[in-house]
Structure 1
Amino acid sequence: MNKSEFVAELAKKWLWDKKQAEMALDGVTDIIKDTLAKGNDITLVGFGTFTVAEKAERQGRNPKTGEAITIPAAKVPKFKPGKALKDALNG
């Protein structure tokens, strides 16, 4: 499902027009991005937890040339699904 399909489903579920649904989705994603950028976690009980993990600098290889390269340290988002979400997926 892509963003426009998600917006259409959201609009249908809440009887909104697509513009309202898109604004709601954009608002939620902005809050998630801003909160993670500050280094804070987000826990949605029953759904899951968004966190930020630190990846250390490491060595890699350019697959085209085989040349050794340094991959810089980075912060990456992580998501751990909650029990209710796992249960919904597994019947």
Structure 2
Amino acid sequence: MTKAELLSAIAKKGGYTKKDAEKALEAVIGTVTDTLAKGEKVSISGFGSFEVRQRAAKDSINPQTKKKIHIAAKKVPAFKAGKALKEVVNK
């Protein structure tokens, strides 16, 4: 599903205009992004939680050149599905 298709589905399901659905989606995405940027967790009951995880530094090999490279430690966003979402998907 693309963003445009998601906006259409939100508008149809909620009885909103596509413009209002876009505003709502952008507000949700912006809020989640800002919260994760602060290093905080976002939990949505019945859906799941978003959090920032620390990925350790590691040495790897460039598959094209076969040279060893060092990959620095970094923070990455992660999503963990909630129980209700897992149950719906597994039906």
TM range (shorter): over 0.9
Match of 2:87 in 1: 87
Please provide the CA RMSD for this pair.
Answer: 0.9
**Distance in 1 of aligned mates of 2:30 and 2:63:** 35
Superposed CA deviations along residues 11-36 of structure 1, whole A, max 9, x for unmatched, are 11111111111111111011111101
Q: How far has the Cα of 1:89 moved from its partner?
A: 1.2
Unaligned residue ranges in structure 1 (runs of 5+) = none
TM-score (norm 1): 0.94
Structure 1 consecutive aligned stretches of length 4 or more whose deviation exceeds 6 Å: none
Unaligned residue ranges in structure 2 (runs of 5+) = none
Q: When the two structures are aligned, how many residues end up with a matched partner?
A: 91
Alignment of 1:1-91 (within 5 A): 1-91=1-91
Letter in 2 for 1:11: A
Letter in 1 for 2:10: L
Superposed CA deviations along residues 28-80 of structure 1, whole A, max 9, x for unmatched, are 01111110110100111111111110011111111111111111111011111
TM-score (norm 2): 0.94
